[in-house]
Amino acid sequence: MEKINVAVNGAFGRMGREVCQAVLDDEELQLAGAFDLQGIGEDIGEVLGKKKLGIVLRNLSSEALAEGKIQVMVDFTTPMAVMDNIKISLACGIRPVVGTTGITQVDLKLIEEWVEKAGLSAFIAPNFALGAVLMMKFAQLAARYFKHAEIIELHHDQKIDAPSGTSLKTAEMIAAGRREEPQKREELLKLAGARGAVAENVHIHSVRLEGLIAHQEVIFGGLGQTLTIRHDSYDRKSFMPGVLLAIKKIASLKGLVYGLENLLDL
């Protein structure tokens, strides 16, 4: 079987290094490029604590993408750079698999236009952990029976966007699963933001602390009871099965696909 040539953008970062290692460990994939604004000139093999691979970290550019016969580009960078990265990838005929958060609904519509123009496919997921996808699906199911829900999402202190893409996606799925909208209650906020942000009539509370990776709980309230659905990622390796699945499936997808649940039999 011919291997899929994969480039990783954001390869010097913690998630990027995990993706590079996962690609190297998979017999169906070939690491063909590593891009980042940091570590330029370093061999990615040495960055991973291994022998040299002959793949040097470079700035992302159309010229660099064209050199490695790259078929898929995985992007774990920043919300400020991700849109330009996706545009460059598609312009070079390369399908992007994106885990960078901070992509808005407006952004998704624009990406959809780029994908259609390029005649390719693109995959974006707010969370690549299989357990997180199930947590969101279970929350959508629970929303049929509990009108009131709140989300608490907790991430490491280096995550710059809030609320998380996972929490926003969860709020959308809760709204889609509801049979009726909860009535708004009168509130007296002694401090602005005390009740968190609101998306789809769901309150979202964001926590950013050293020591965390990625965690989320959805608390449903009903008559005399609560239901809590929680997922915890204690290691970035938890995201790798989902990333690898997206890399292998993207060539068979059409257009823009948003959310790992679309690749699973749920």
117 carries an active-site annotation:
no
Choice among 159, 203, 248, 249 that is catalytic: 159
Choice among 155, 205, 215, 231 that is catalytic: 155
Helix axes 105-118, 82-91, angle to 10 degrees: 10
Please state whether 52 falls in left (phi above 0), alpha (psi between -120 and 50) or beta: beta
* Helix, coil or strand: residue 263: helix
155 carries an active-site annotation:
yes
Q: For residues 60 and 75, is the Cβ–Cβ distance under 8 A? A: no
Q: Is the dihedral of CA 180, 220, 102, 258 positive or negative?
A: negative
**Residue that is written with structure tokens 């998630």 in the block:** 15
Closest CA to 127 of 96, 167, 156: 167
Q: How big is the chain by its Cα radius of gyration, in Å?
A: 20
Q: For residues 237 and 177, is the Cβ–Cβ distance under 8 A? A: no
Spatial distance between the Cα atoms of 232 and 213, rounded to a whole number of angstroms: 8
- Which positions are annotated as active-site residues? 155, 159
